[in-house]
């Protein structure tokens, strides 16, 4: 059965609209329109929520028109309207949610409120080699670093997470220390190509367990960021030229190693043979290389979302909505609001008659 969804994503600083179709067991992105605000927020060194919300309002009408035109699909041919409703910036989320619910009412279509992390998770299904459950998901983005076990029927269990900075957030902060522009991930990756990843030995932060030892699958990046800062201060005291490429390469290397080591440890400890990597940081080539190499040695299959769908986009939201429709999930209440924070393992509540928020 062919199904088509119009999807909206406005959780942070990308306004995105997509039309995604599921037909004969395959997902096809018919339109994927994105208006990025990165250049504007760069002058502030990070996302300014009020500016983000305003730009979503300005861009949304044009992106909607563009997506419908590009897809060649009219509202009368669509099966549902979807939008990200959690987590994210509240004002930004409201723009997408209200727009989607209004369109759903106008065109008498079901509305699906989508969890942003479920969207990232679903981006792996847009690859030529989609995963089959059960599998372990490594979500690495600007706001999240989590290990999530995915079992059949969209059952999620978080098994590891960062106790402070997300990996992408650490990239942004270290980039700022090196005098590189925002967003930091692509900038660090670019100059790290010419650096020596073994010149500086930065710590692989571990999280202490109050009952003794360490949490084996959890992450901490704030200490790593501080170690980079101390190294920069030491070099500046010596009045030496700052070896930005070596610092970037050494930082990138340790982040990749930590993400790979703890992900594969969980997979091996629990007999999981399939690992999925999604999120903006999943676009990092060094991380992709190390993950593929190390997983191959341990006979673990790796599925990585296509680079075009690693960062925030609406195609992944549409794919998540289609997966929900395929699993016979009931539509969300038209009264469903938005929430800045909401756990992924509670995402089924987004489709209850009484909405959770």
Q: Which residues of the chain have pLDDT under 50?
A: none
* Burial group, residue 357, by CB count within 10 angstroms (0-12, 13-18, 19+): middle
Locate the domains of the chain by residue range: 3-122+312-351, 133-304
Cis peptide before 69 (omega within 30 of 0): no
At residue 40, the pLDDT reads: 83
CB 319 within 8 A of CB 291: no
Distance in angstroms (rounded) separating the CA atoms of residues 314 and 269: 35
Nearest to 162 by CA among 85, 258, 234, 50: 258
Class (C level, CATH) for 3-122+312-351:
alpha beta
At residue 153, the pLDDT reads: 79
* Dihedrals phi, psi of 262, to nearest 5 degrees: -75, -30
User: Matching CATH topology for 3-122+312-351 and 133-304?
Assistant: yes
- Give the H/E segment covering residue 268: helix 244-269
Lookup: tokens for 41: 């927020």
At residue 182, the pLDDT reads: 87
At residue 70, the pLDDT reads: 97
At residue 47, the pLDDT reads: 86
Strand 274-278 to 301-304 pairing: parallel
pLDDT digits (tens, 9 = 90+) for 311-350: 999 999 999 999 999 998 899 999 999 999 999 999 999 9
* Burial group, residue 212, by CB count within 10 angstroms (0-12, 13-18, 19+): exposed
- What is the 3 state secondary structure string of 120-165? HHHHHHHCCCCCCCCEEEEEECCCCEEEEEEECCCEEEEEEEECCC
Nearest to 337 by CA among 312, 356, 319: 356
Lookup: tokens for 62: 């044009």
**In the CATH hierarchy, which fold is given to the domain comprising 133-304?**
Nucleotidyltransferase; domain 5 (3.30.420)
pLDDT digits (tens, 9 = 90+) for 39-93: 788 788 778 889 989 999 999 999 999 999 999 999 999 999 999 999 999 999 9
């Amino acid at each position: 059965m062919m199904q088509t969804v119009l999807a909206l994503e406005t959780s942070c600083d990308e306004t995105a609209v997509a039309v995604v179709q599921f037909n004969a067991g395959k997902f096809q992105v018919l339109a994927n329109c994105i208006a990025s605000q990165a250049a504007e927020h760069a002058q502030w060194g990070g996302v300014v929520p009020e500016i983000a919300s305003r730009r979503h309002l300005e861009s949304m009408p044009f992106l909607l028109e563009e997506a419908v035109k590009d897809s060649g699909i009219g509202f009368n041919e669509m099966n549902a309207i979807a939008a990200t409703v959690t987590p994210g910036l509240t004002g930004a989320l409201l723009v997408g949610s209200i727009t989607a619910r209004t369109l759903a009412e106008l065109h008498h279509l079901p509305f699906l409120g989508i969890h942003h992390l479920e969207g990232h998770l679903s981006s792996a299904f847009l690859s030529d080699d989609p995963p089959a459950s059960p599998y372990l998901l490594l979500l690495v983005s600007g706001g999240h670093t989590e290990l999530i076990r995915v079992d059949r029927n969209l059952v999620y269990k978080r098994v590891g997470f960062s106790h402070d900075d997300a990996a992408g957030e650490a990239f942004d902060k270290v980039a700022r220390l090196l005098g590189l522009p925002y967003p930091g991930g692509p900038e660090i990756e670019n100059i790290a190509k010419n650096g020596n990843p073994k010149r500086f030995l930065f710590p692989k932060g571990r999280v202490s367990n109050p009952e003794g030892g360490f949490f084996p699958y959890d992450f901490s990046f704030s200490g790593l960021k501080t170690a980079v800062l101390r190294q920069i201060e030491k070099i500046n005291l010596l009045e030496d030229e700052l070896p930005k490429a070596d610092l970037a390469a050494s930082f990138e290397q340790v982040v990749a190693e930590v993400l790979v080591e703890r992900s594969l440890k969980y997979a091996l400890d629990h007999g999981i043979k399939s690992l999925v990597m999604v999120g903006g940081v999943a676009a990092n080539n060094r991380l992709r290389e190390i993950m593929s190499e190390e997983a191959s040695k341990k006979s673990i299959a790796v599925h990585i979302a296509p680079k075009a769908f690693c960062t925030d986009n609406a195609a992944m939201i549409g794919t998540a909505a289609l997966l929900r429709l395929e699993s016979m999930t009931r539509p969300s209440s038209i009264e469903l609001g938005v929430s800045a924070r909401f756990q992924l393992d509670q995402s089924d509540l987004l489709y209850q008659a009484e909405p959770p928020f």
